[in-house]
Chains A and B, each alone.
Chain A
């Protein structure tokens, strides 16, 4: 079975500091991995996705993630946090059954302090 674990339900950083949101996955087959962002009272917006083409994936708003098979990780980073980055972030793995549903982690809420 596939699963996703996000370490830390809440992360707080100062504006301009490095953002690191952790995601570990479990999958018996090569995974498709996604990071989504959810701003308050809005739907989910795709930040980036890993589809086996390249291990370092660049997304929108300056975010990137690195796929590390040996560590079964897909951590999300951004060199310098901005106030507008405050949101909930979800890591997800595509399931190979049930219509390719996404299996989500529990989410990490990112706060950015001025």
Chain B
């Protein structure tokens, strides 16, 4: 059971380039999330998904897109990278059911630098 895996671990982009951050979970969780963590700050939600084919915006969605075609995968797409997107990105998943405590499990993160 690998849990939540993310690739790549590190990436440097030039301004205006695009890339996709990959996230996969093997726990059959229905909910998945993308957060970003800026220095000295807690994590902020970018996008989330409540199941395959259903996604919605979080607090800071501008400049990002997501899709969820399968239960396992939740890629995050950056179009036209900007220096403000330099951050550490975390993917998380949880199994949410009525009455459950729905703990979120986090991946190891992707460190992205935009120059």
Contact = CB atoms under 8 A, between A and B. Distances in A.
Interface of A: 4, 9, 32, 34, 36, 41-46, 49, 51, 90, 92, 94, 98-107
Contacts of A41: 109
Contacts of A9: 40
B103 interface: yes
B58 A101 contact: yes
Contact of A43 (B33, B40, B48, B109): B109
Interface of B: 4, 31, 33, 35, 40-45, 48-50, 56, 58-59, 90, 92, 94, 96, 101-109
Contacts of A4: 42
Contacts of B101: 32, 49, 51
Nearest to A34: B103
Contact of A99 (B41, B43, B48, B108): B48
Contacts of A104: 42-44
Contact of B48 (A92, A98, A103, A106): A98
